[in-house]
Amino acid sequence: MTTNTMRAITQTTLGEPDVLHGAEVERPVPGAGQVLVAVHAAGVNPTDWKHRRHGYFLGQPPFTLGWDVSGTVEAVGPGVSLLAPGDEVFGMLPYPYGAGSHAEYVTGPTRAFAPKPAALSHTEAAALPLVSLTAWQALVDTARVRPGQRVLVHAAAGGVGHVAVQIAKARGAYVIGTASAAKHDFVRGLGADEVIDYRTADFVEEARDVDVVLDTLGGEDRLRSLETLRPGGLLVSILPQGLEGLAARAAELGVRATALLVEHDRQGMAEIAALVESGRLRAHVSATYPLAEAARAHAEGETGRVTGKLVLTVRP
């Protein structure tokens, strides 16, 4: 028996995790150039709880959050030639306005998805898209990291950070990460050459002559990170807000700075899948939660202590 409805996590007001609730909503239908994906698992990212609390790009609710997805193509819309029903895919819905993966089904453009690596479970695959595309677009597309360059990755045990360390190493870079002491072994296990305890050491003093900084922190740490760069070096921030004074300070120091907002990208997902299949990239899933317990996942994520990623499981 088929149904035209599905379960989704939605909210009708901004606020704490308890504003999230399950609801029976209309199942989407794929339009031209779109696919309908039966969601098996969906990653949870800081942008989810920030939007839940503040609205940001999405404005006022109601809305369903979630950009990461791994699942099976259920149906395709007119003009779709790259995917077919039954294909296992993973990808990131168009950011920021394409949110909706915290549900049993989601639609998105064909080119938001790529074939899921066979070696990955849906849970593992769902942990990768947003963080991997962010790191890839920062380090490869923007900074063009090359072998032998020195790369500083802030919050190297976090979602974006732990993937960025691996991507930078795959590009042949010398990688320096910042993390609390308890996470140093984890970050070294990802391939980092040096790890700085940001609680007891000044990263500006410890990391010198850096070619590329991946800024995942913002604020004063972003400005201070410019001081670690060699002349002509580049800071790439994944937080394109609060950039006042950044360009001026970079110019004073003879370095460069830019910020990016992650974009969906089938080719980027294919590159990420290739790294997975070659054994050079893996996602660390810290914890999983059933879809109905999305509020618990948000609460855990907001502690700021998560190593790697949190994932919602939707189907077995």
Question: Which tens digits make up the pLDDT trace of 216-252?
Answer: 999 999 999 999 999 999 999 999 999 999 999 999 9
Q: Per the domain annotation, does 266 fall within a domain?
A: no
pLDDT at 2 over 80: no
Q: Per the domain annotation, does 24 fall within a domain?
A: yes
Q: Taking residues 22-32, what's their average pLDDT?
A: 98
Domain total for the chain?
2
What's the Cα-to-Cα distance from 211 to each of 155, 203, 227, rounded to whole Å? 18, 15, 11
SS3 of 50-85: the string is: HHHHHCHHHCCCCECCCCEEEEEEEEECCCCCCCCC
Question: What token pair was written down for 257?
Answer: 């700075």
Tens digits of residue pLDDT in 77-132? 999 999 999 999 999 999 999 999 999 999 999 999 999 999 999 999 999 999 99
Q: What local confidence, expressed as pLDDT, does residue 85 receive?
A: 98
Q: What local confidence, expressed as pLDDT, does residue 291 receive?
A: 98
Whether residue 104 is found in the same domain as residue 221: no
Whether residue 137 is found in the same domain as residue 241: yes
Whether residue 28 is found in the same domain as residue 106: yes
Whether residue 51 is found in the same domain as residue 170: no
Q: What share of the chain is helix, strand, coil (3-state, %, to 5)?
A: 35, 30, 40
Q: Per the domain annotation, does 272 fall within a domain?
A: no
Whether residue 10 is found in the same domain as residue 74: yes
Q: What local confidence, expressed as pLDDT, does residue 179 receive?
A: 98
**pTM score of the predicted model:** 0.97
Whether residue 92 is found in the same domain as residue 37: yes
Question: What token pair was written down for 129?
Answer: 């898209």
Q: What local confidence, expressed as pLDDT, does residue 3 receive?
A: 80
- For residue 40, give the CATH number of its domain: 3.90.180.10
How many angstroms separate the CA atoms of 68 and 37, rounded? 12
Residues 6+ apart with CB under 8 A from 39: 69, 70, 71, 101, 103, 104, 105, 106, 314, 315
Positive or negative: CA dihedral 258, 152, 69, 75: positive
How many angstroms separate the CA atoms of 167 and 90, rounded? 18
Tens digits of residue pLDDT in 36-70? 999 999 999 999 999 999 999 999 999 999 999 99
Structural domain of residue 162, as residue ranges? 131-259
Whether residue 230 is found in the same domain as residue 155: yes
How many angstroms separate the CA atoms of 103 and 8, rounded? 4
pLDDT at 1 over 50: no
β-bridge partners, 310: 44, 287
Whether residue 173 is found in the same domain as residue 231: yes
Q: Per the domain annotation, does 274 fall within a domain?
A: no
How many angstroms separate the CA atoms of 145 and 159, rounded? 20
Q: Per the domain annotation, does 271 fall within a domain?
A: no
Residue 84: is it exposed, middle or buried by C-beta count within 10 angstroms (0-12/13-18/19+)?
Answer: exposed
How many angstroms separate the CA atoms of 113 and 130, rounded? 12
pLDDT at 282 over 60: yes
Across the chain, what does the average pLDDT equal? Answer: 97
Q: What local confidence, expressed as pLDDT, does residue 316 receive?
A: 83
Whether residue 87 is found in the same domain as residue 15: yes
- For residue 156, give the CATH number of its domain: 3.40.50.720
Q: Per the domain annotation, does 278 fall within a domain?
A: no
Q: Taking residues 286-315, what's their average pLDDT?
A: 97
Whether residue 139 is found in the same domain as residue 121: no
Whether residue 136 is found in the same domain as residue 121: no
Q: Per the domain annotation, does 112 fall within a domain?
A: yes
Question: What token pair was written down for 258?
Answer: 């830019």
Whether residue 41 is found in the same domain as residue 123: yes
Q: Per the domain annotation, does 28 fall within a domain?
A: yes
Q: Taking residues 199-222, what's their average pLDDT?
A: 96
